[in-house]
Amino acid sequence: MNETLLQQQIYTDKVKNFTLGQQKTYKIQTFGCQMNENDSEKIAGLFEEMGYLESSDNAIPDIVLFNTCCVRENAEQKVFGHLGVLKKQKEQKSDMVIILSGCMMQQAGTLDQIKKSYRHADIVYGTNKSHLLPLYLYTYLSTGDKQFFTEETGQEIIEGLPIKRESSIKAYVPIMFGCNNYCSYCVVPYVRGRERSRSTHDIINEINYLVNQGVKEVTLLGQNVNSYNSEVDFADLLYLIDKLCDIKRIRFMTSHPKDISLKLIKAISEIDKVCNHLHLPMQAGSTKVLREMNRKYSKEQYIDIINNAKKTIPNVGLSTDIIVGFPGESDIDFDDTLEVISTCQFDFAYTFLYSKRRGTKAALRDDQISKEDKSIRFNKLVTLQNSITLQKNISCEGNIEKVLVEGLSKTNKAVLTGRDEANKIVNFIGDKQLIGQIINVKIIKGKTWHLEGEIV
């Protein structure tokens, strides 16, 4: 066992002894992306090892942890709003421990704001520090001293931490951490540190372990999986997983258009286990805006990649991310975005209002777009994309799709729900014994947010 894991184990045992005989509970609230969701699964694993149980919905837990996000301002506002509510709960239960972790804590200035205005927070730590949670918690419990650790150190990858996964059918597998791209609007490189890839060997071992546990689908995670750089490159990682792991389905996100290779597009089309789906954030349609965003591709280059993917990968599902209202974006620039949307015909798009992020280059610009203009453009974009999504879903009617059955529909317990290879939600009537299996479903009706089908 390496020194880090040994230390984590020592403090895990100390917390366990400290709370001996009392069944303590924890609750984690996750904000933001899949990487954060995966980090929270690891945090849950640590709490369980320390003898804590996940609290039931209505009970006030002994520990509340917010795993935070700061990619857009509304994610931050949500955290502050929830923290305000917690203050009242802590007045009722004074020994409740409040822990804040993740990206937002790593941002310059946030810790000072918390110390000043949210003094009920007890432990605060940034990204890449979760393995030290047992140490922070033990020190806080045994001394009562608040623990604040947000300085940017510790970029090493810690393998072998416990994990409590949300699903027994699908799993996230991070393959790399951090980002080197410095898109001019984005805070991620500042709060997640430099790019570093996990070893291919560790990834294959983790997937094989998951297969033994009955997991059917893995999603390989990274801010830019195309720049995965370890024993092999990303496309070869897909070939290796295909060869060495008996996993049924492989997904991945996110790909950066500047790094996507023909080799990768070929790998997606050649490897049966890799789902026919490509999430390729375009961010904006105008070459001028893309240059100012530091994205390193033009409108034409983006469209070429999409055309290539459509030509090479049969029935490929395409999705993207788009930002509306980047500083200096003119009506003509925005029209370029609408034009690329019409040309590419994405199955789905995640659409965002540009949000000014402290410390980024774009935040310093004095040609910020007004809230009104942003929202008019946003509505136009969403209306166009929704009509395309609906048309594309209608065009699936009559197709037979392979669906991984994930569970019961939240709104109707007689209905099962799952996803097809293109990542579309498919709802159909069926026996819950089918949960966890990949089955053929005939698409009967395409709706905007899902497909309705029947088992073949």
Q: How many CB atoms lie within 10 A of CB 412?
A: 11
Pick from 8, 36, 200, 223: which binds ligand SAH (CB under 6 A)?
Answer: 223
Q: Would you tell me the crossing angle of helices 262-270 and 299-312 to the nearest 10 degrees? A: 30
Options 8, 38, 67, 223; binder of ligand SF4; rule CB under 6 A: 223
Residues 16-35 that bind ligand SAH (CB under 6 A): none
Nearer to ligand SF4, 73 or 454 (CB): 73
Range 225-264, binding ligand SAH (CB under 6 A): 254, 256
The tokens for 397 are 């009617």
Binders of ligand SF4: how many residues, by CB under 6 A? 10
List the one residue out of 344, 321, 442 whose CA is nearest residue 392.
Answer: 344
**What span, in angstroms and rounded, lies between the C-alpha atoms of 305 and 311?**
10
Number of residue whose CB is nearest ligand SAH = 321
Residue 143: other Cβ atoms inside 10 A: 9
CB of residue 364 vs ligand SAH: minimum separation in angstroms?
13
Q: Which residue has the tokens 């014994």?
A: 433
Considering the rule CB under 6 A, would residue 352 count as an interface residue with ligand SAH?
A: yes
Contacts of 123 (CB under 8 A, 6+ apart): 97, 98, 99, 100, 136, 137, 140, 146, 147, 148
189: partner contacted, choices ligand SAH, ligand SF4, none (Cβ within 5-8 A by kind):
ligand SF4
Name the minimum Å distance from CB 110 to ligand SF4.
Answer: 18
Q: Please report, as residue ranges, which positions from 295 to 324 form the binding site for ligand SAH (by CB under 6 A).
A: 321, 323
Residues contacting residue 264 through CB under 8 Å, at least 6 positions apart: 226, 234, 235, 238, 255
- List the one residue from 127, 150, 197, 355 that touches ligand SAH (CB under 6 A): 355
Give me the residue label for tokens 């409040």: 98
Of the candidates 12, 147, 197, 224, which one interacts with ligand SF4 according to CB under 6 A? 224
Q: State the nearest-atom distance from the C-beta of 167 to ligand SF4, in Å.
A: 25
Sign of CA dihedral 197, 200, 203, 207: positive
- Residues of the chain by 3-state class (helix, strand, coil), percent to 5: 40, 20, 40
Q: Does 148 bind ligand SAH (CB under 6 A)?
A: no
Residue 374 is a binding residue for ligand SF4 (CB under 6 A): no
Which residue blocks in 93-225 are alpha helix, DSSP H? 103-106, 110-117, 133-143, 188-192, 200-212
286: contact with ligand SAH by CB under 6 A: no
Q: With H, G, I as helix, E, B as strand and everything else as coil, classify residue 399.
A: coil
Q: Taking CB under 6 A as the rule, does residue 289 contact ligand SF4?
A: no
Q: Is 354 in the site for ligand SAH (CB under 6 A)?
A: yes
Asked if 279 touches ligand SF4 (CB under 6 A), the answer is: no
Q: Kindly tell me which residue out of 35, 188, 215, 324 binds ligand SF4, with binding defined by CB under 6 A.
A: 188
Footprint on this chain of ligand SAH (rule: CB under 6 A): 71-72, 185-186, 188, 223-224, 254, 256, 281, 283, 321, 323, 352, 354-355, 357
Footprint on this chain of ligand SF4 (rule: CB under 6 A): 179, 181-183, 186, 188-189, 223-224, 256
